[in-house]
Amino acid sequence: MTQDYERISRAIDFIRQHVGHQPSLAEIAAHVHLSEYHFQRLFSRWAGITPKRYLQALTLERAKQLLQQPSHSTLSASYELGLSSGSRLYDHFVQLEAVTPFEYRQQGLGINIAYGYHSTPFGLAFIAQTARGICQFDFVDMQQIQSPLERLKQSWSQATIYEDATQTASLIDNLFSQYFAGSSAAALNLTAPNTQAIHQAESAPLSLWVKGTNFQLNVWRALLNLPKGEVASYGDIAKAIGKPKASRAVGTAIGANPVALLIPCHRVLRQSGELGGYRWGETRKHAILAREAAYCE
* Residues designated catalytic: 265
Closest CA to 15 of 60, 64, 55: 55
Three-class HEC string of 5-72: HHHHHHHHHHHHHCHHHCCCHHHHHHHCCCCHHHHHHHHHHHHCCCHHHHHHHHCHHHHHHHHHCCCC
Rounded alpha-carbon distances, angstroms, from residue 120 to 171, 179, 224, 248: 12, 12, 21, 31
Question: Contact, 70 vs 30, CB < 8 A?
Answer: no
- Cα torsion 265, 268, 269, 270 to 10°: value is -100
Question: Contact, 140 vs 117, CB < 8 A?
Answer: yes
Coil/strand/helix, residue 178: helix
